[in-house]
Chain A
Amino acid sequence: MSKEFNEALQSGLDLIRSGGETIDSIVTRYPDFADELREQLEVALWLSSSRALLDPSPEFVTSSKRRLITKIRQEQQATAAPLTWGQRIQEFFTVQKLAPVGFVLVLMLGLVVSGTVVSASQKSIPGDNLYTIKRTLEQIALATSIEEQNDAELQIQFVENRLSEVKALIIEGRYDEVADTLEDTEEQVYDTLEKIEVVSEQNRFLARDLAVQLDELLATQRTILEAITQNSPFQLSFQIARVVVVSEIVKLTAEEFAIFVPPTSTPPPTPLPTRVPTRTPRPTPTPAPTQVPIQPSPTPTNKPTKEPVEPTDTPVPTNTPTTVPTNTPTPVPTNTPTTVPPTNTPTTVPTNTPTKVPTNTPTKVPTNTPTDIPPPTNTPQPTNTPNPTVIPTNTSAPNFTPTQETNSSPTGTPLP
C-alpha cells in the first residue's frame, strides 16, 4: 500500500463527506488503483455512515452527565473537608510533588532547631530547662566514644563542666543546686579516675598525661572551692570538702604516674627522630646535642652506681641525646631551665618539682601543642641549652626533660 494510495483514500473520504464528490468521481482520478480505492472507500464510508448507529441514547447522555457532575462535587466536598495536620502535610508533599524539597526543608529546620537547642543547652546550669539536654548529650558523647582515651578526655571535660556549674550556681545564689552539683562533680572525678586506670592498662604514658591534666584542672579549682567554703552556707562545706578530698586523690595519682611512668626511655627513640627531621629542617642542628651526650655520659654513669634504683634509668643518658634533638625546638628549652635547679637534690627534689613544674607548663604544651608551643618563644632562653647539657650529670635532670618531652612524645608514639 503506497503513500499515494493513502492520500487518495483520505482526500476522497473528505471530499465525499463534504458532499462535493462521489466515489466514482474520485476513483476516475486514480486509474492506477481504481478498483482497490473503490473497495476501501465503500467500506470506510459505510462505517462512517453507520456512526450514529453506535451512539448512546440522549437519555443516557443527560443522566450520565448529571451523575458524573454529582460524583465530582461529592469528591470535591470530601477533599474539602477539614483535614488533620498530618493529612495536610501528606497532601502537600504528595499532591505538590514537593517531597524532596520538603524533606530537605524539614531536615534543615530540624538541624537548625536542634543546633540552637544544643548550643543553648551547653550554657545551662542545674535547674535550667535545657540542663537535662546538656547531661543527656554528655551521656551520648560518652556512649558514642570508641576509645578509652577519648572517654577519659570527655570525663575530664565533664568535671570541668560541673565545676563551672558550681561557680555559676554560687554566683546566682542557688545553693540548693550547688550541693547536688558538687556531689555530681565528686562522682565525675571518681569516674574519670577509673577511666584513667583503664587507659593505663593500655598506655601508661597517656594515662599519666590524663591524670596530670585532671590534677591541673582540680588544682586550679581547689583554691576557688576553698574560698567558696568560707562564704557559702555551712551545709555546703561538707560537699566542698569531699570534692577537695577527691582532688587530693587525683593529685596523688598524678604524682604516682609521674614517678612510675616518668622516663622517656622507651617511647621516643625511633619515632621521634624520624618525625622531627621530616617536619622541620631546624632540628638538624642536632650536632649541638650530639655534643651534649658526650659530656653527660660520663657523669650519669657515675651516679647510677651510687643508687641502685636509678641505674634502671641508666638508659637516660642514652636517651638524652636522642630526645633532646627531637624536642629541642620547643619543649625542652622551657623545661630544662626549670629543672636544672633540682639537679642538686637527687631524690627528693625530683618528686616535688616535677609535679609542680609540669603542672604549670607541660600540660598546656601537650593539650595545646600547636598553639601553646609557639609561645615558648622564650626558647631564646633555652638557647642556653648548653646548661642542660651540663645538668645531665644529675640523673634527675633527665627525669624532667623526659617527662615533659614524653608528655608530647607518648601522644606521638601511638600515632606511628
Chain B
Amino acid sequence: MLQWHDLEDKQLIKLAKDGEAEAFGELYERHVNAVYRFLYARLDNSMDAEDFTEEVFLRAWNSVTNYRERGVPFLAFLLIIARNVLIDHYRKNGRSPHQVTIEDIQLKDTNPEPSEITNINLKRQEIRQALGQLRDDYQEVLVLRFLNDLSPNETAQVMKRSTGAVRVLQHRAIVALRKTMEEQHEQRI
C-alpha cells in the first residue's frame, strides 16, 4: 500500500494544492527540522522558534496554491517564508543579540546520560553563541549552507542574492566565525 513517505515532494505538493492536509503533513515532517534550525539559530529561544515554525507552515499552506517549482525547491520556498517571518518579528520587536537562555542548559532529551546532556547543551550553547556574534547575513548564509545543506544556488534564492555574492559572503562568514570561536576559546582559558 502506498504510504505518504513513498511520494516525492512534487507529488505531495500537488495533493496539498488539491486540499489534502495529510500530504501537507508529510511535507511538514520532511522539512520541519530545516525550518526550525534556520529559526532557532537566529532567535533567542526555542519557544519562539517553535511558534514561528508553525506559523511558517501555516503560511506555506495558505500560499501553496501559488507555489510553482521553477527551480525553487520546496525547502527553499519554506525558508523564504521563514526569513519573512523573522523579518516581521524583528520589525515588531527590534533586533537583539543572541542571549543564551536557561533552556540551552536545560534537558531536552531524557534518554541520554546526564554527562552527555551537559556535553550536548554546552555544544549547543557554544554554537548559538558563536553564531550570535556574527552579522545577520553571515548567520544566514552559514545556517543555510552548512546547517541546512542548501547549495549555493538555493541559498542565493532564499537570500535573494546572486550565487557569486553568496560564495563571497560564505567565505567571509566562515572567517568571521572562526575568529569568534577563537576569541571565545581564549576567554575560557
CB of A171 within 8 Å of the partner chain: no
The 8 A CB mask of A67-109 against B (1 = contact, 0 = none) is 1110111001000000000000000000000000000000000
Q: Please tell me if the beta carbons of B25 and A65 are within 8 angstroms of each other in the complex.
A: yes
For B36, list chain A residues within 8 Å (CB).
Answer: 54-56, 60
CB of A345 within 8 Å of the partner chain: no
For B175, list chain A residues within 8 Å (CB).
Answer: 39
* A6, A10, A54, A65 interface centre (most CB from chain B within 10 Å): A54
State whether A64 and B124 are in contact (beta carbons under 8 Å apart), knowing that A48-B147, A57-B109, A72-B61 are contacts in the complex. Answer: no
The 8 A CB mask of B29-71 against A (1 = contact, 0 = none) is 1001100110011000010011001100110010000000000
CA distance A83 to B58 in the complex (A): 23
Name the interface residues of A34-51: CB closer than 8 Å to any CB of B. Answer: 39-40, 42-44, 47-48, 50-51
B117, chain A: closest CB distance, angstroms: 12
Q: Please tell me if the beta carbons of B50 and A56 are within 8 angstroms of each other in the complex.
A: yes
Select which of A48, A53, A54, A76 is within 8 A of B21 by beta carbon: A76
Q: Please tell me if the beta carbons of B53 and A64 are within 8 angstroms of each other in the complex.
A: yes
Q: Please tell me if the beta carbons of B146 and A56 are within 8 angstroms of each other in the complex.
A: no
For A54, list chain B residues within 8 Å (CB).
Answer: 36-37, 40-41, 124, 127-128, 147
For B46, list chain A residues within 8 Å (CB).
Answer: 56
- Choose, from B78-86, B92-100, B166-174, the stretch at the interface: B166-174
State whether A1 and B28 are in contact (beta carbons under 8 Å apart), knowing that A53-B120, A76-B19 are contacts in the complex. Answer: no
Q: Please tell me if the beta carbons of A40 and B21 are within 8 angstroms of each other in the complex.
A: no
CA distance A64 to B55 in the complex (A): 10
CB of B22 within 8 Å of the partner chain: yes
CB of A111 within 8 Å of the partner chain: no
The 8 A CB mask of A1-18 against B (1 = contact, 0 = none) is 100011000100000000
For B168, list chain A residues within 8 Å (CB).
Answer: 1
A269, chain B: closest CB distance, angstroms: 76
> In the complex, how many residues of chain A place their beta carbon closer than 8 angstroms to a beta carbon of chain B?
29
A4, chain B: closest CB distance, angstroms: 12
Select which of B54, B57, B58, B127 is within 8 A of A53 by beta carbon: B127
CB of B13 within 8 Å of the partner chain: no
For B40, list chain A residues within 8 Å (CB).
Answer: 54, 56
Name the interface residues of B155-189: CB closer than 8 Å to any CB of A. Answer: 167-168, 171, 174-175, 177-178, 181
For A65, list chain B residues within 8 Å (CB).
Answer: 25, 28-29, 32
A60 to chain B: closest residue by CB: B50
Select which of B28, B171, B181 is within 8 A of A40 by beta carbon: B171
Q: Which residues of B contact A (CB under 8 A)?
A: 19, 21-22, 24-25, 28-29, 32-33, 36-37, 40-41, 46, 49-50, 53-54, 57-58, 61, 108-109, 120, 123-124, 127-128, 142, 145-147, 149, 152, 167-168, 171, 174-175, 177-178, 181
Cross-chain pairs A/B with CB under 8 angstroms, 13 sampled: A1-B167, A1-B168, A5-B171, A6-B171, A43-B174, A43-B181, A48-B146, A50-B127, A51-B147, A64-B54, A65-B28, A65-B29, A67-B54
